[in-house]
């Protein structure tokens, strides 16, 4: 059976924890898109980790982790991450990297930073990890798949010279930066080739055989619906499709094999990067929620920068779950809200004096104002509770109201950062 774990919102929903929990019973965990531009924070018996390139199943001895063809692979960061977790006592993970994944080259990272510098006050809020230039080159057909790192010397050097000609036109004329030196790029490719060699294989063949063998496979998405290149708040989006519908393409498996889709959504809203954010709050109110939220505060796992925060947005989340095709919803990070007397819950948008329930396109989104329903707070610490019935009545009603507003069943509630801080529940729907 293939299950997908994906984000319903702007990313940072807690997908890493949900993947870590479900991976205990999985044979394979697959990253099917994205790169090192976002992180999944996981807390388990080995400690607290922020993963960027590796799937969240690396802490399970019986799990094979796969980086699929849809991933933007930063080889240096991948290898460093493997070495880091092993140095902290985690057993050497079993990892397979697709020979069709595209490689984030050092010049992609340079280009990402140069473009953000050029845009200045109009920048997209990139993490400067080289993701957009890597995917851009992929579709321009001048990128490097992993298998192409192993090309014979002469055709490989031809490819390098062609790329440098194109990049240097940008670097020197648009960005006014130093030109790439083809020989240096070539030598770096040889270095990357040796670093990734032990991990490379035919991931699609491996996964399709695993399906025939009735293995349990988890597809792990990066970021969320609002950052999807097609369905998100364009152009303040990522450069790939972090939705379950892309899981088949990004892993190399038939789409009809994806039988369960867990859309993860946080009990309040948060986002890194630019773009319209209807329920965003500011000032001391935002700082209090940011300080209490997440596991150690709402700060980016990759950049460390403060996340934008706001109240739960049922309109955006309902849209996110719809686009993902959710069969289940996991509601995470409920526990930090215990300090509030009342909790605003956005149940609609107002635009030009009219109430709407459907998430609008980006042109109209900036004119939307939230319509709030005030929910009574529970004013207590709910960490350590293991059944839904034991939660305070006000907390249960908060979860149930979100479920009613979404129209999708909430089957998991996370009330703490650790693997065991999870409540399985029978939904109302």
Do the Cβ atoms of 27 and 61 come closer than 8 Å? no
CA distance 150 to 189: 9
CA distance 20 to 51: 11
Q: Regarding beta strands 94-98 and 312-313, do their DSSP bridges make them parallel or antiparallel, or are they unpaired?
A: unpaired
Active site residues per annotation: 12, 40
Instruction: Pinpoint the alpha helices (H) of 153-304.
Output: 153-173, 182-196, 203-212, 247-251, 283-292
CB 409 within 8 A of CB 424: no
d(CA 261, CA 233): 22
2, 262 contact by CB (below 8 A)? no
CB 6 within 8 A of CB 33: no
- d(CA 213, CA 222) in angstroms, rounded, equals 27
Q: How far apart are CA 147 and CA 138, in angstroms?
A: 14
Is residue 301 a contact partner of residue 38, using CB atoms and an 8 Å limit?
yes
Contacts of 217 (CB under 8 A, 6+ apart): 1, 2, 3, 26, 27, 28, 29, 30, 207, 210, 211, 253
User: How many CB atoms within 10 Å of residue 388?
Assistant: 18
Of residues 312, 321, 286, 293, the one with CA closest to residue 372: 312
Inter-CA distances, 259 with 25, 219, 221, Å: 16, 11, 15
DSSP assignments along 280-305, one per residue? B--HHHHHHHHHHSTTTSSB-TTT-P
30 forms bridges with which residues in the sheet? 66, 219
SS3 category, 404: helix
Alpha-carbon distance of 25 to 332, in angstroms, equals 20
């Amino acid at each position: 059976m293939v299950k997908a774990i994906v984000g319903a919102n702007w990313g940072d929903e807690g997908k890493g924890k949900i993947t870590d929990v479900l991976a205990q019973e999985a044979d394979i965990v697959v990253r099917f898109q994205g790169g090192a531009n976002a992180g999944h924070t996981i807390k388990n018996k080995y400690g607290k980790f922020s993963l960027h390139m590796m799937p969240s199943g690396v802490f399970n001895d019986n799990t094979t982790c796969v980086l699929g063809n849809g991933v933007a692979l930063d080889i240096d960061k991948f290898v460093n991450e493997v070495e880091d977790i092993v140095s902290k006592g985690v057993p050497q993970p079993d990892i397979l990297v697709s020979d069709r994944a595209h490689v984030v080259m050092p010049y992609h990272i340079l280009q990402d930073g140069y473009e953000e510098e050029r845009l200045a006050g109009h920048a997209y809020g990139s993490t400067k990890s080289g993701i957009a230039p890597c995917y851009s080159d992929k579709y321009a057909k001048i990128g490097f798949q992993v298998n192409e790192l192993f090309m014979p010397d002469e055709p490989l050097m031809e490819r390098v010279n062609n790329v440098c000609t194109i990049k240097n036109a940008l670097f020197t004329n648009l960005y006014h930066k130093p030109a790439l030196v083809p020989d240096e790029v070539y030598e770096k490719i040889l270095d990357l080739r040796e670093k990734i060699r032990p991990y490379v294989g035919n991931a699609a063949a491996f996964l399709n055989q695993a399906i025939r063998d009735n293995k349990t496979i988890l597809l792990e998405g990066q970021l969320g619906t609002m950052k999807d290149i097609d369905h998100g708040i364009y152009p303040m989006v990522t450069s790939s499709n972090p939705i379950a519908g892309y899981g088949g393409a990004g892993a190399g498996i038939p789409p009809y094999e994806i039988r369960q889709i867990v859309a993860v959504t946080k009990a309040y809203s948060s986002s890194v990067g630019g773009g319209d954010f209807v329920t965003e709050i500011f000032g001391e109110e935002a700082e209090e929620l940011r300080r209490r939220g997440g596991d150690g505060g709402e700060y980016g796992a990759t950049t460390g920068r403060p996340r934008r925060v706001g109240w739960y947005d049922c309109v955006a989340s309902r849209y996110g779950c719809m686009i993902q095709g959710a069969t289940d919803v996991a509601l995470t990070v409920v526990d930090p809200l215990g300090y509030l007397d009342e909790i605003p819950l956005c149940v609609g948008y107002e635009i030009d004096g009219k109430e709407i329930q459907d998430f609008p396109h980006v042109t109209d989104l900036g004119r939307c104002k939230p319509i709030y329903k005030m929910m009574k707070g529970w004013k207590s610490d709910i960490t350590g509770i293991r059944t839904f019935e034991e939660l305070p009545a006000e907390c249960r009603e908060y979860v149930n109201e979100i479920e009613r507003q979404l129209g999708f069943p909430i089957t998991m509630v996370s009330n703490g950062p650790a693997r065991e801080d999870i409540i399985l529940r029978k939904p109302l729907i």
